[in-house]
Structure 1
Amino acid sequence: MNKVVVLGATGTIGQVIVRDLVESGVKVIAADLDTKRLEELKTKTNHQIEITPLNITDQERTKEVLLQGKVCVNATNYIFNIEVMKAAAAVGISVLDLGGLFKLTNEQLKLDEEMKAANILSIVGMGSDPGTSNIFSRYGVEMLDSAEEIHIRFGSTTSGSTFSFAVDTIIDEAIKNAMVVKNGVLTEIPPLSDEELTVFHEDIGVQKTYSIIHSELATLPISFPEVKNITYKDSWDPATIEKIKTLNALGLLETEPIEIAGKSILPRRQTVSLLQNVLAAKEKPQWGKDVLLVEVKGLKNGNKASVKLEMLTDYQPHWDVSATQYGTAIPASIVAQMILNGEVTKKGVKPAEQCIDPKTFLSYLKDKNVEVNITYSETKKDIAVFA
């Protein structure tokens, strides 16, 4: 059955995945706990999708839903990634998610043999970053004779939105230690450290970027062990940093339970729930552009060389979604279609750089509302001539 099941279909990213799949001629089953928003999504897609209510924590019901499709796109909170993988393995459906924020990604990779035994593929992290960033990294590595550095950067001109995607993920990125590869060693560093000025595409300009925890650092060092320096940095609105620091200082992001009026409460869960509901009503998609920049440095023909790839996304007025939502959702939709079309054949648990052909992926991407620029530079050695 050539259908794609999208879990978390009414979320900020899930709904865009659904709409792009439908526009691409793919049959979609949209599953979510919020039945009202499912009905709204069905209306937005001119009733071209099947919808089904689903509590992702109900494993048996999740299996029933997954049985109806050939590919599953898991757009739920990353804490459910392993549960979804196990359900997918039980019914024999390939699955991809939007990332596990490094530590969970490492746990997902341990399920490789289980996924192979089920004869399915599970792709860990297939959005903009991780996902496109991983594929761009592979493209750059393959362009060079030897790669020495991979640097991933994300910039944005979008303003007015404190949490442009999953609240939980943004909070973790701001308060958990980041990871980098320095001189061949995977190293833990403080969150939002190693601040630098990054020169992006002219539409974005120069922005401050900071190291944050990210899934690419869980897989790129394994896929490309010869690369001695790998970094990921994101641009952050200083106001957002201060808001998260304040919440953390007040203890509102604690994960240990406290007792209030005889009830056990998780401060982090209550804070995230409030933010999600308040911001959903208050904050609307904003105008502005995003850019994903991947630069791979190394040697070509014995000379120092660099391959730079940039993907620019913009606010999408026809769907009223932000550049971040669009840029994250489209790669997931593309890879789901590639699996349906038999263009991805590996089995087991794989990051995008190990199972997605960059050129095929780019051929799909050119038909979307994004701009991709690839720049190659090579510094040739000076040849001294003596008379």
Structure 2
Amino acid sequence: MHIIVLGGAGAMGRVTVRTLIEYADIEQVTIADYNEERAQEVAASFASSKIQVRQIDVTNAERLDQLLRGADVVLNAVDYVFNLLVLKACIRERVHYADLGGLFHMTRKMLELNAEVEVAGITAIAGIGGTPGITNLLARLAVDKLDTVDTIKVQLGCGDATPSTAPLVAPYSIRTILDEFTKEPQVYQDGVWHAQLPLSGQEEIVFPAPVGRASAIYSLHSECALFPQSFQDKGIKYASFKIAFPGDFMTKLKFLVDLGFGSDEPINVRGLKVSPREVLASLLESAPVEDVEPQDCDVLRIVATGKAGGESLEITNQVVVLPYRPWSIGAGALDTGTPLAIAGRMLANGEITRRGVSGPELSIPTGPFFHELARYGMHVESETRVLS
């Protein structure tokens, strides 16, 4: 089996690569990245004969097609704005596809290609990281226990006690986070998506330690685009997504966004046109990597309500993610990079049989997926409560 990881030298992509090379039945893993030097460094750090490195600019369709030709699976860990370009290349080359999510609007555009993906005879999984990804499959577990579904609320709690001298440490792609902070979140209710104000919907949510009580806000996310379609047969009426970042991070980032650093609109600086967002992203990316043991935590949770056997139930499913000490990687990298690899292997070995574009809740068998996830210390906790 040959699997290509686009963006394989990035923070999340390299975790996907590391997970893949530990599977005995995967013969070849290609790290394909715009930054070839960084890709070579990542490959050297793993010292595996399975790895090869290729430089790629995913906006170059001809070169992308050549790269994908003959591969079994493409795992897309580049910025979500390129998802459609990569998916179209996979359709042309008839290669299975999975990504880390499309931040709602991109995911909806991908779903429109379902017929083309089916004709190509391939599977395209829209969003199989931590969230979207693990959360979608937690929702699947809950929905399977219900006769009808009323609501699904996705909640992500993030904590980070990692010592750092950096003024700002982004838990994942700062460009994606800036979009989450500046674009209107979408809440699904009674057949319609309702746009919310950015940073709105503040709610105190109690997560397990070490996250604890945290202030969560609405965020633009793919689950709200997928669940209404995936669970329409159960009559779903409501879907929302809220995220709770560490308080210090929220305060700092909100200050930067209020100053205008969330904007991609170029401004004139001494006669040069520059994007405030790209300035911020470049500054953060150029900060030296600190050699410290990560101390972060993610709580990935869904709360679903509905009826089963005539009773009204509330089902809470969650996974508490801690740093993975054998690899010295943080919770955020672990719960994003490993699910993509697990799905990639399941695509390559034929465990996933559904064709077309869908969320992981429709395409990935929950049993084998969560069995593999548990190998990295990520276990499902579930609680069911009868509502009066």
TM-score under structure 2 length normalisation = 0.91
1:90-169 matches, cutoff 5 A: 90-159=92-161, 162-169=169-176
Q: Match of 1:193, SS?
A: coil
Q: Per-residue deviation at 1:152? A: 1.0
Letter in 1 for 2:311: N
Deviation per residue, 1:315-360 (Å, 9 max, x gap) = 1233221100101111111111111121111222111112122223
Deviation per residue, 1:207-230 (Å, 9 max, x gap) = 221111111111111222311121
Q: Match of 2:201, SS?
A: strand
Say if 2:197 is the partner of 1:190. Answer: yes
Letter in 2 for 1:47: S
Say if 2:351 is the partner of 1:343. Answer: yes
Q: 1:190 to 1:228 in 2, by over 3 A?
A: same
Mapped contact 1:300–1:378 kept (Cα < 8 A): no
Distance 1:285 1:68 in 2: 39
Distance 1:144 1:90 in 2: 39
Q: Per-residue deviation at 1:103? A: 1.1
Between 1:193-202 and 1:331-340, the stretch displaced more is: 193-202
Distance 1:208 1:301 in 2: 35
Q: How many residues align?
A: 378
Say if 2:9 is the partner of 1:10. Answer: yes
Between 1:228-237 and 1:122-131, the stretch displaced more is: 228-237
1:315-326 matches, cutoff 5 A: 315-326=323-334
Q: 1:310 to 1:123 in 2, by over 3 A?
A: same
Identity of aligned residues (%): 30
Say if 2:42 is the partner of 1:41. Answer: yes
Q: Match of 1:172, SS?
A: helix
Residue 67 of structure 2 corresponds to 65
Distance 2:169 2:358 in 1: 32
Letter in 1 for 2:68: L
Mapped contact 1:99–1:124 kept (Cα < 8 A): yes
Q: Match of 1:247, SS?
A: helix
Letter in 2 for 1:371: H
TM-score under structure 1 length normalisation = 0.91
Residue 246 of structure 1 corresponds to 255
Q: Match of 2:66, SS?
A: helix
Distance 1:238 1:367 in 2: 31
Distance 1:285 1:349 in 2: 38
Q: Per-residue deviation at 1:310? A: 1.2
Q: Per-residue deviation at 1:140? A: 0.5
Q: Per-residue deviation at 1:252? A: 3.0
Letter in 2 for 1:346: R
Residue 309 of structure 1 corresponds to 317
Letter in 2 for 1:57: T
Letter in 2 for 1:213: L
Q: Per-residue deviation at 1:295? A: 1.7
Residue 178 of structure 1 corresponds to 185
Mapped contact 1:151–1:295 kept (Cα < 8 A): yes
Q: Per-residue deviation at 1:159? A: 3.4
Say if 2:205 is the partner of 1:204. Answer: no
Letter in 1 for 2:46: T
Letter in 2 for 1:79: V
Say if 2:36 is the partner of 1:28. Answer: no
Deviation per residue, 1:125-158 (Å, 9 max, x gap) = 1111111111111211111122211111111231
Q: Per-residue deviation at 1:202? A: 4.5
Q: Match of 1:194, SS?
A: coil
Letter in 2 for 1:70: D
Letter in 2 for 1:338: M
Letter in 2 for 1:220: F
Distance 1:315 1:23 in 2: 18
Deviation per residue, 1:76-117 (Å, 9 max, x gap) = 011110111111111110111101111111111111122222
Aligned with residue 285 of structure 2, among 268, 276, 289: 276
Mapped contact 1:121–1:348 kept (Cα < 8 A): yes
Q: 1:195 to 1:271 in 2, by over 3 A?
A: same
Distance 2:158 2:186 in 1: 22
Q: Per-residue deviation at 1:282? A: 5.5
Distance 1:24 1:331 in 2: 14
Q: Match of 2:241, SS?
A: strand
Letter in 2 for 1:254: S
Residue 18 of structure 2 corresponds to 19
Between 1:108-117 and 1:73-82, the stretch displaced more is: 108-117
Residue 385 of structure 1 corresponds to none
Residue 384 of structure 1 corresponds to none
Residue 79 of structure 1 corresponds to 81
Say if 2:266 is the partner of 1:257. Answer: yes
Q: Per-residue deviation at 1:361? A: 1.9
Residue 286 of structure 1 corresponds to 294
Letter in 2 for 1:250: L
Distance 2:175 2:212 in 1: 28
Aligned with residue 236 of structure 2, among 207, 214, 227: 227
1:45-56 matches, cutoff 5 A: 45-48=46-49, 49-56=51-58
Residue 246 of structure 2 corresponds to 237
Distance 2:38 2:97 in 1: 23
Mapped contact 1:210–1:236 kept (Cα < 8 A): no
